[in-house]
């Protein structure tokens, strides 16, 4: 089941499209229209990063978020500096198992 949520700010970037797929345990974050992404990369932590034509970060896809949260692991994404995402922010969109 996939659920849309209000925006989330990470590292000074406000993602206005936040969707969590509970069945796959995947969190999708995007700024504006997802079709604006034209370039893709992977963070050192394994998160999928999406960039627009001006190479601004416009999306992050995070796999296994609930699993990491439930195990008590901190979630960090490097965009380009490492930013730790507060558990309380993630729990708003990723419920405990």
Give the number of domains in the chain.
1
The pLDDT assigned to 95 comes to: 82
Mean of the per-residue pLDDT values of the chain:
91
pTM equals 0.87
Q: How far out from the chain centre does Cα 67 lie?
A: 14
27: left (phi > 0), else alpha (psi -120 to 50), else beta?
A: beta
The pLDDT assigned to 97 comes to: 67
The pLDDT assigned to 80 comes to: 81
Which residues pair with residue 15 across a beta bridge?
8
Interval 27-73: pLDDT, tens: 999 999 999 999 999 999 999 999 999 999 999 999 999 999 999 99
The pLDDT assigned to 55 comes to: 93
Q: Show the domain range for 79.
A: 2-91
**CB contact set of 32 (below 8 Å; sequence gap of 6+):** 16, 17, 58
The pLDDT assigned to 93 comes to: 87
pLDDT band for position 96 (cuts 50, 70, 90): confident
- Report the alpha-carbon distance of residue 88 to residue 64 in Å, rounded: 17
Quick check: is 78 in a domain?
yes
Quick check: is 96 in a domain?
no
């Amino acid at each position: 089941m996939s659920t849309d949520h209000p925006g989330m700010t990470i590292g000074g970037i406000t993602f206005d499209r936040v969707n969590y797929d509970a069945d796959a345990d995947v969190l999708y974050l995007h700024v504006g229209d997802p079709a604006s992404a034209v370039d893709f990369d992977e963070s050192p932590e394994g998160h999928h990063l999406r960039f627009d034509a001006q190479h601004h970060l416009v999306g992050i896809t995070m796999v296994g978020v609930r699993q990491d949260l439930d195990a008590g692991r901190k979630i960090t994404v490097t965009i380009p500096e490492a930013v730790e995402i507060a558990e309380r922010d993630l729990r708003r969109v990723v419920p405990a198992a």
